[in-house]
Amino acid sequence: MRYLPLTTDDRAAMLATIGASSIDELFVDVPAAARLDGPIAGLPMQASELAVERHMAALSRGNRAAGEGPFFLGAGAYRHHVPASVDHLIQRGEFLTAYTPYQPEIAQGTLQMLFEFQSQVARLLGTDVANASMYDGSTACWEAIVMARRVTKRAKALLSTGLHPHYRSVARTMAKYTGDVLVDGDPVLEAGTDWAALAASIDKETSCVVVQYPDILGRIDDMTTLAEACQAAGALLIAVVTEPVALGLIKSPGEMGADIVVGEGQSLGVGLQFGGPYVGLFACKTKYVRQMPGRLCGETVDANGKRGFVLTLSTREQHIRREKATSNICTNSGLCALAFSIHMTLLGEAGLRQLAAINHGRAKAAAAELAKIPGVSVLNDSFFNEFTLLLPTAARPVVHKLAEKDILGGVSLGRLYPDNAGLANGLVVAVTETVTKPDIAAFAAALKEVLA
Amino acid sequence: MTALNRAGWRPEMNVAGGADDNVTFTGNRALMLEEPLIFEIGGTGTTGVDFDEAAPAADLGSLARTAPIGLPGLSEAETVRHYTRLSRQNYAIDLGLFPLGSCTMKHNPRLNEKVARMPGFADVHPLQPQETVQGAYAVIHELAEWLVTLTGMHSVAMSPKAGAHGELCGILCIKAALEARGEDRRVILVPESAHGTNPATAAFAGFTVEDIPATDEGRVNLEALKARLGPDVAGVMITNPNTCGLFERDMKAISDAVHAAGGYVYCDGANFNAIVGRVRPGDLGVDAMHINLHKTFSTPHGGGGPGSGPVVLSEALAPFAPLPFVTKRGQAFRLIEEESAGEDHPETFGRMTAFHGQMGMFTRALAYILSHGADGLKQVAEDAVLNANYVLRSLTDVLDAPFAASGPCMHEALFSDKGLAEGFSTLDIAKGLIDEGYHPMTVYFPLVVHGAMLVEPTETESKAVLDQFIGALRSIALRAKNGDPALKTAPHFAPRARLDETLAARKPVLAWED
């Protein structure tokens, strides 16, 4: 087997050193009933690189890759162009095949990168500090809800109906077991958000209000008043950002007073990958840092006075605090954080602003084009690169018919909210810089045909 | 650059470097290159990305982001250099032995990277119509079948994002199963030697955590465990092979006792590499076990993730598995989500994450598994265990191995700090190993052994590499026993000397300030 360097002679010599007569003797503590004599039956034997590559390539051809044609899906995962140098750099073996920087003297590469990542994320989201990443946006979101409970010692979380249904679903799963009380619901097909109503329903039991920005229907709104209402009532405002590129164009949640800002960082550097691995962003005000989950990298000096970086405030974490830890998270999403950070460094502020503006412009052009189709209208008053189309018929079958024409034309609200007939005609359409004008024209033509 | 090396040599000093030949103007030492932060070298007007069009005007009114964000950019040339220089300050498996116990730092085959980047896997959206992603579902299904067969379990939940997330999945299955039975059991028993994630997970799910006592030989004390079982005990979380590097000989008896008392058995599968292809946890009575694809199945650790933690489940817990998951009907694969769960999977405890789990890790793990096959995986376990025993038995004359008499170790060898000179510790040995060109072993874990050193060589190391490592560790152990003062200030040859962690925690600087 090509990955295993020991030779038969090596094995014999090593057994002699150990004082064992056979490999089986090393497994003597396994009860006889559970010891397997040969390879597990019914499974294939080892295969060459060529054979495995051939098999996997065949499986991959069973999928319609986004880049093969017009593509308009978003709803929590966005297709952006990732510069070639990002993937090259994350494949440097020193990044790819290292682990958590437990020994900082020989992990300054990872640690400095994490410090830079934390700084970039904090600035992008408009907060004081950010951690070294979570699994993804959805798990970061429920960790934020749990953190708000620790900070406020209250357990009622108000979720905006504009929160991604998967994020809401994850929070509901956890709440069943943690004792959090969630107030939530499906969105209503209105141009505006439910934030004013949320502000009005905050009470003395409310730990936090969770809003998504832009929300699941692509709507954007000012959260300043909501933040003030939270603050006045002693609750925290949690903002969820699933499309961080938006923050190159629209105000950050931190600027508008959000206490905790979490997000899905996949848009930058990571790619679609059928949903994972992604990278959870987690940021907050400095005063809450000791209640944060996950790893934190901090600056310090070494014994010679040179600047260096270490993992810090680890008394929050499971390997020190065990059952009293702020979270059970251990491995996070380091390599995806690196990809995010490299992409952000390549863009810089100027590049991010331009990218965001191009996305917005392209989306506006697409919305205008699609709204010309008889019976089709755009729900949103305002949006970044994603908006909701209202079709004259249920959107879900339309998506399949579009796919037959090789157009991946958005995510139907019927897929996201199968039990809510009131949402069935909604189609969430994302338009990034990867979409061309001919793509938009092809989509509009196909949609017109399908609806005719 | 001056900020990096205020004490560097300057022309006005006349004498090159003063008394120390190591001092340079830049702070660099040939191939050991210092690198500033992007905030020190980049500018907010600089970008390494060209666009085909100018930024169109936007009319977002008061929502427009007008204030400076403060994100520095670099040209592509500078970016490549920045991160390449940073990478060279890292140790990695690609550079040498990385015997971090419990983390299974084995070779990461590059075929797996190539496969994961095939457009049909890398460039596919999780919410595409099901008919356009049959190949992705096929990967999940094929990997799931391998995991179920290799573990001898009933089914597998694929969506957990990492080991600890998998633990949570297993524990929530247990909680849901107890609720379905109408029982309110509050206690989870966990050995003191467990990974910190075990008690943290149980507590997160609302359980009370109690210790399981160990025997002198480093295994679970079956009699003490039996005595503690009762109607308040929801289950146990046991790592097998355990963190002392030993196989839990009584695992089946433990499972039987827990089941007889109405509880469930969670097995922490972090150490599955020791037994993959040789022992099926399903034969030991396990109800749930997470599998770290980034350990046993070699998806890259990436400087701290991403991981992936599928959880294999017994028939008793399978009905409660999380959404979504993939099923096969005829030739077509189908995703079971919230809407279809009602008919197909009504007792699910719900969703743990957006989308379907770590697809990018599934493709890599499947390529790894197919490369090995059933015979190769068995060899993996055997060579991993052989390598660990070789390290253990080659060093017992210089290092205390507290459980050397407890039988062969599995895939990791455990030593303690007993016998080191006054004032010398496990930390000094770890830092000495850095100077010898190795990543240190896991230190101060498990907590049950004083100054623990947990060495996991993995199966992808040759005998020659192990011989040199054994020689290096032997020499450092002797230096620590003889009280060599130079060891107290190691590492001397790393990019940084020992870092002040107390300062970092006392005055946290967690983000760049202009």
Q: For residue range B282-300, list pLDDT tens digits in order.
A: 999 999 999 999 999 999 9
Q: Is the pLDDT of residue B425 over 90?
A: yes
| Cβ–Cβ below 8 Å for A349 and B73 | yes
Query: What pLDDT does residue B10 have?
Result: 72
| Cβ–Cβ below 8 Å for A298 and B510 | yes
Query: What pLDDT does residue B3 have?
Result: 52
Whether the CB of B11 is below 8 Å from some CB of chain A: the reply is: no
Query: What pLDDT does residue B23 have?
Result: 79
A424-427: long-range contacts (C-beta < 8 A, 24 or more apart)?
Answer: A424/A394, A424/A395, A424/A396, A425/A390, A425/A391, A425/A392, A425/A393, A425/A394, A425/A395, A426/A189, A426/A217, A426/A379, A426/A388, A426/A389, A426/A390, A426/A391, A426/A395, A427/A388, A427/A389, A427/A390, A427/A391, A427/A395, A427/A398, A427/A399
Q: Which amino acid is at B236?
A: V
Q: Looking at per-residue confidence, does B167 or B2 come out higher?
A: B167
The residue whose two tokens read 């060891």 is: B487
Nearest CB to B197 within list A167, A328, A347: A328
Cβ-based neighbours of A37, under 8 Å, separated by 6 or more: none
Cα–Cα dist A9/B490, whole Å: 37
Q: Which of A26, A213, A328, A396 to mutate to test the interface with B (most CBs of B within 10 A)?
A: A328
Nearest-Cα distance to chain A for B481, in Å, is: 23
| Cβ–Cβ below 8 Å for B386 and A130 | no
Which residue from B minimizes the CA distance to A356?
A: B55
Query: What pLDDT does residue A112 have?
Result: 98
The two tokens of residue B208 are: 């009370």
| Cβ–Cβ below 8 Å for A349 and B303 | no
| Cβ–Cβ below 8 Å for A6 and B459 | yes
- Give the confidence band of B2 by pLDDT, cuts at 50, 70, 90: very low
Cα–Cα dist B498/A303, whole Å: 6
Whether the CB of B277 is below 8 Å from some CB of chain A: the reply is: yes
- What's the whole-number mean pLDDT along residues B258-285? 97
Q: With contacts defined as CB-CB under 8 Å, which chain B residues touch A122?
A: 511
Cβ-based neighbours of B444, under 8 Å, separated by 6 or more: B426, B451, B452
pLDDT, tens digit, 9 for 90 and up, residues B383-403? 999 999 999 999 999 999 999
Q: Number of A to B CB contacts under 8 A, please give it.
A: 713
Q: Is the pLDDT of residue B64 over 60?
A: yes
Percent of chain B having pLDDT more than 90? Answer: 89
Reduced to 3 states, what is the DSSP secondary structure of residue A281? strand
Task: Identify whether the C-beta of residue A428 lies closer than 8 Å to the C-beta of residue A411.
Answer: yes
Cα–Cα dist B243/B239, whole Å: 7
Q: Which of A63, A169, A212, A221 to mutate to test the interface with B (most CBs of B within 10 A)?
A: A63
Nearest CB to A411 within list B127, B163, B504: B127
Task: Identify whether the C-beta of residue B410 lies closer than 8 Å to the C-beta of residue B278.
Answer: no
Query: What pLDDT does residue B1 have?
Result: 41
Nearest-Cα distance to chain A for B421, in Å, is: 23
Query: What pLDDT does residue A170 have?
Result: 97
Whether the CB of B84 is below 8 Å from some CB of chain A: the reply is: yes
Whether the CB of B86 is below 8 Å from some CB of chain A: the reply is: yes
Largest CA distance in chain A: 83
Whether the CB of B115 is below 8 Å from some CB of chain A: the reply is: yes
Element (H, E) at A437: helix A437-451
| Cβ–Cβ below 8 Å for B505 and A108 | no
Q: Is the pLDDT of residue B446 over 60?
A: yes
Cβ-based neighbours of A48, under 8 Å, separated by 6 or more: none
Element (H, E) at A347: helix A334-370
Q: With contacts defined as CB-CB under 8 Å, which chain A residues touch B72?
A: 345, 348-349
| Cβ–Cβ below 8 Å for B55 and A357 | yes
Task: Identify whether the C-beta of residue B434 lies closer than 8 Å to the C-beta of residue A302.
Answer: no
| Cβ–Cβ below 8 Å for B139 and A100 | no
Strand blocks (E) in B51-179: 155-157
Query: What pLDDT does residue B15 have?
Result: 56
- Give the confidence band of B4 by pLDDT, cuts at 50, 70, 90: low
pLDDT of chain A, 452 residues: tens digit per residue: 999 999 999 999 999 999 999 999 999 999 998 999 899 998 999 999 999 999 999 999 999 999 999 999 999 999 999 999 999 999 999 999 999 999 999 999 999 999 999 999 999 999 999 999 999 999 999 999 999 999 999 999 999 999 999 999 999 999 998 889 999 999 999 999 999 999 999 999 999 999 999 999 999 999 999 999 999 999 999 999 999 999 999 999 999 999 999 999 999 999 999 999 999 999 999 999 999 999 999 999 999 999 999 999 988 888 888 888 888 888 889 999 999 999 999 999 999 999 999 999 999 999 999 999 999 999 999 999 999 999 999 999 999 999 999 999 999 999 999 999 999 999 999 999 999 999 999 999 999 999 99
Q: With contacts defined as CB-CB under 8 Å, which chain B residues touch A419?
A: 339
| Cβ–Cβ below 8 Å for A11 and B113 | no
How high does pLDDT run on average in chain B?
94
Nearest-Cα distance to chain B for A373, in Å, is: 23
Query: What pLDDT does residue B192 have?
Result: 85
Percent of chain B having pLDDT more than 70? Answer: 96
Q: With contacts defined as CB-CB under 8 Å, which chain A residues touch B383?
A: 4, 6, 11
The two tokens of residue B462 are: 């040759």
| Cβ–Cβ below 8 Å for A68 and B63 | no
pLDDT, tens digit, 9 for 90 and up, residues B84-93? 999 999 999 9
- What's the whole-number mean pLDDT along residues B348-362? 96
Count Cα atoms within 13 angstroms, Cβ side, for B249.
15
| Cβ–Cβ below 8 Å for B118 and A317 | no
Query: What pLDDT does residue B344 have?
Result: 81
Determine how many CB atoms are found less than 10 A away from the CB of residue A285.
16
The residue whose two tokens read 């770290």 is: B292
Q: Is the pLDDT of residue B274 over 80?
A: yes
| Cβ–Cβ below 8 Å for A271 and B123 | yes
Nearest CB to B301 within list A30, A97, A167: A97
Q: With contacts defined as CB-CB under 8 Å, which chain A residues touch B500?
A: 300-303
* ipTM of the complex as predicted: 0.97
Q: Which amino acid is at B478?
A: L
